[in-house]
Structure 1
């Protein structure tokens, strides 16, 4: 009830009684004073409440500012840098139908597990990390694992198991099997060392690298099988009478390898083209002393016109070891052989086509051709031609390849083979990438 109304009612009641007339005069006077005091007190309380509210707002504002600085606020503060490591990977399966395996033909082909792989990429404190580990039924292999640092606008350094800069980049092929150069150790090769990379500026780029040894530690690396690796490297010298696929009796390993790749980019008449030259040179060790050295060089070009791609590469390699014309190489948990010296030429065409067939968004049609010749062991040429198409559909990426080859690994032969017969392989590799 309103205090003024209550006071008036009390005063009226008391004044109406003559017995309390004197008392009424005193009570009404005191009540009026009391009302004035209450009014003044209410005014002061209102003013004080306003001051408290203002002070509370200041405290809250200051507390929030302190909390942001210390990191103790309800809403997370956005970091100045996007530090963190992203984990991805792929699962791949493979179907093949071949002309060189009677059991495979009788079964109308075979469908097998290919790989499960895990990738790591990201940046922590301006230092980047890139890694990939692959799990097969028969082995586990690290493809690459290196850290990187961008120490200037155009230069980056990478250290670890990094890619050897050589030839057309990133690949000298479009298909699942790469080119014939891959099986010679001249495409998508990874070794343990340091790479300095200059990004494209003023139309040119440069990669310079030093590799202490191969990715498994060289000739005496701490591994139980030197063929359990992703990329091809020398693992030994082939002695007279030693089989193409035998474990090498004379182990060898590459060490102290210098590699360089120079490329120039230009555009003319709608063509975007890169031309370049690559070279590498290093030593070979038998576990006790230097056993020889090796070199390789390549001239390469890659061009694009609208949806068309063209690649060319001419390469030569030489493993200079006394009285050795054939060497042992290892990869994918088995040993193979190549001539100690040979020349290779590759030519590739591809066409990109954007589509909208349900989940399918892109197709690439290609034909990749390669030949290895002038071999030091006087064996027949290695020839491989691959016609195919790759299909992108969401997380799925699939290769459909028709391979026509002779003296080619994984197509019924070896790079050290001496056959005149061509073999066929129809291959479908299905991968889900995440």
Structure 2
């Protein structure tokens, strides 16, 4: 068996790779690339101090006057938090796999596994770890279908129809996808359900405008889909709406969003939760609730440490999932962090603070976004170091 990768092994490796970072340009239109990323997790309350290989992904991008496309495939395993697997690559799945056609510079269509256009794009804030919107299945979500994009002056319109979620990859769970998607529950999920999302229709309309010195965007999104229950054979629905604001004034950035998600499943058991899955795990999410997101960022200009450090961004992000069921505890996440480039490496360092958050501080993984977890504030430190090529 190979020894675990650790800090002293990975830092020289990533540093050595840092010299010639660039994608391989196969043709004038096709680029091949990817990334090798390490992560550091520190939580003294749980006696966790781990450094290891996080992700390896391979990507391809095609762009011409008419045809476009993107594909990305990811590999995980062995290192924390996947130490329960034997080999690196025991967990793997696709993020993107789509082709598109540009009718003109303002209009295009994308077909395949592409990003669902809902709310703030491409993410609900400045963080690497992402917000609670990601875990409840609204942020950074990819599904299989077709999306139409049109830019008309200050207006951006995106409409999509998706047949199904991403295909399951390789792993140990029923939730082996990049996105958090409606899923069948693994045996360890109490009150778990077995639904699959079908026929998702989504519309996002946004307008760019100036509000004083702030370059801004305001937008409205709506989503509806069918939830096919594999146990009862009956169909429920998933509906979501969101309103968002994005503003930029010099180095300052603000992102705000409020969303409502309402799922009405036809489960064999309780209808108060729906099981979602992703990243080799499944967990319950409250069927009904409001998501709130606020993000403040500041871009630090200049280069430092003999011009090796650049692109410094400071940010603070708050997200909350306020569930409609009276007895369900609100989930909250606060992220204070910074991201920057060091030579050819890109680094994000974040202080994660959560309450009833399945991914922070050891609160219940399967129930925190449902009825609730430890219901107390937990925190840990997280760093991601990536070499992108």
Range class of TM-score, shorter chain: 0.7 to 0.9
Matched length: 339
The structure whose Rg is larger is 1
Counterpart residue number, 1:324: 271
Taking the TM superposition and a 5 Å limit, the aligned residue runs for 1:296-311 are 296-311=240-255
- Residue from 112, 132, 135 that aligns with 1:180: 132
Counterpart residue number, 1:286: 229
Aligned-CA RMSD value: 2.3
Counterpart residue number, 1:150: 102
Contact 2:259 2:290 in 1 (8 A): yes
Counterpart residue number, 1:94: 39
CA distance 1:345–1:126, change in 2 (3 Å): same
Question: How much does 1:430 deviate?
Answer: 0.5
Give SS of 1:166's match. Answer: coil
TM-score, normalised via structure 2 length: 0.82
Question: How much does 1:124 deviate?
Answer: 6.4
Counterpart residue number, 2:67: 127
Check if 1:198 corresponds to 2:150: yes
The ranges of structure 1 where at least 4 consecutive aligned residues each deviate by more than 6 angstroms after the TM superposition are: 221-224
Contact 1:228 1:330 in 2 (8 A): yes
Question: How much does 1:251 deviate?
Answer: 1.8
TM-score, normalised via structure 1 length: 0.74
Q: Which has the higher contact order (CA 8 A, sep 6+)?
A: 2
Structure 2 unpaired stretches of 5+: 1-26, 78-89
Distance 2:185 2:286 in 1: 10
CA distance 1:167–1:125, change in 2 (3 Å): closer
- Once the two structures are superposed, what CA deviation does each residue of 1:348-391 show, in whole Å capped at 9, x if it has no partner? 00000122223111200000001111333732111111111101
- Once the two structures are superposed, what CA deviation does each residue of 1:290-342 show, in whole Å capped at 9, x if it has no partner? 42111001010000000000010001111102451011111110111111111
Question: How much does 1:95 deviate?
Answer: 0.5
Counterpart residue number, 1:209: 160
Query: Larger deviation: 154-163 or 115-124?
Result: 115-124
Higher strand share: 2
Higher helix share: 1
Check if 1:353 corresponds to 2:307: no
CA distance 1:372–1:152, change in 2 (3 Å): same
Query: Larger deviation: 167-176 or 371-380?
Result: 371-380
Contact 1:237 1:324 in 2 (8 A): no
Structure 1 unpaired stretches of 5+: 1-81
Counterpart residue number, 1:160: 112
Counterpart residue number, 1:314: 258
Check if 1:226 corresponds to 2:166: no
Give SS of 2:328's match. Answer: coil
